[in-house]
Amino acid sequence: MRNEEADGGRVPARVLLRGEPDGWHCVVVTGSGAERRWNLAGAGTRWQTHEGGHEGGRGGAREGYGPEPPWWRRRLCETADALREAVAERLTDATFRELGAEAAITWFALEEPVEWEGLVTLQEPDPARFPGRVPPFVITLDPGRGALLPDADLLFSTHAPDAWATLTALAERCGAPPPKSSFLCGWAGHRSVRVGRGRLALSSERGEDGAERLAEIFGTRRPGWSGNPELRLRLDGIDLLDEPANDVVTLLGGLGHEIVRRGRTVRLPAIGLTLYEPERDPVPGSPDAFQAEDGTERFAGVALRLPSALAAVRTLA
């Protein structure tokens, strides 16, 4: 058993999350009173404007703070939600590495939405931390048709309400919050749900017949532990987000697929597949800054749409 007294100086007890005009940070306080500070990604809490402020370096634009737009508080709430989630993941990963336990945080608002305090409770390790204990959640991509889930199909012929219902059922199965509608430029509808630490997102478009159908399937996963259950996206027997990126490209090319590289993306235009590399220079402290333990680069996201030829046929239909 772990020596609780010996570990007392390292056991996290409280977490303080605070947003300031120039950015966000959190402070982890251990049982002995020691503190660790993490600077976090995210815009500051004040609306920045290029008017009425001080002149930037090299004669740049004048920056300052101006009246906040009506949507700014909602943006702050979304930023705080995302950062609480990121802090919780980072802390429990560090606690598991150091102490072999999970760290669960119960958050309380001190000054919503910019200041939060969390009380930390240690828990037994998640079974999914150990290979083979929990089966992954595998989504099999079927180019030209859609994707096959363990308990459902998401086909490009699926009407939007049925696609959203599938996401809701998936959230219940994974113990995740229900999907919410959000605006994404270029799509009629967009919703997503967490699967472990990954995310499955669906976007819809409206056809010439007025019907709104599934148009894109998008899966993402950050480096590091994948959560419970682990999200896997598979094509032709290849785990697209698990295998090293170079190996994935080599295997797909060996199967005869045309590979087109552009920036951070690798496209297979004939089947409507796009693979996304991770950010090259992520913001320090952001989840994207954490690399895989073995240092091997893997793809961070994969999107599947109808190939252009089939999409044109559906539009004409």
Q: pLDDT tens across 1-33, in order?
A: 344 444 556 899 999 999 998 899 999 999 999
Determine the pLDDT at residue 296.
Answer: 80
Determine the pLDDT at residue 64.
Answer: 59
Alpha-carbon distance of 241 to 124, in angstroms, equals 28
Predicted model pTM: 0.81
Amino acid type, 114: V
Residue 166, strand partner residues? none
Determine the pLDDT at residue 59.
Answer: 42
Sole residue written with tokens 């090319």: 253
Per-residue pLDDT for 277 more than 70?
Answer: yes
Q: pLDDT tens across 106-148, in order?
A: 999 999 999 999 999 999 999 999 999 999 999 999 999 999 9
Q: pLDDT tens across 24-74, in order?
A: 999 999 999 999 999 987 678 887 765 544 444 444 434 556 688 888 888
Long-range contacts of 134-137 (CB under 8 A, 24+ apart): 134/228, 134/229, 134/230, 135/229, 136/226, 136/229, 136/230, 136/231, 136/232, 137/174, 137/195, 137/196, 137/229, 137/230, 137/231, 137/232
pLDDT band at 229 (very low <50, low <70, confident <90, very high): very high
Q: pLDDT tens across 80-111, in order?
A: 998 999 999 999 999 999 999 999 999 999 99
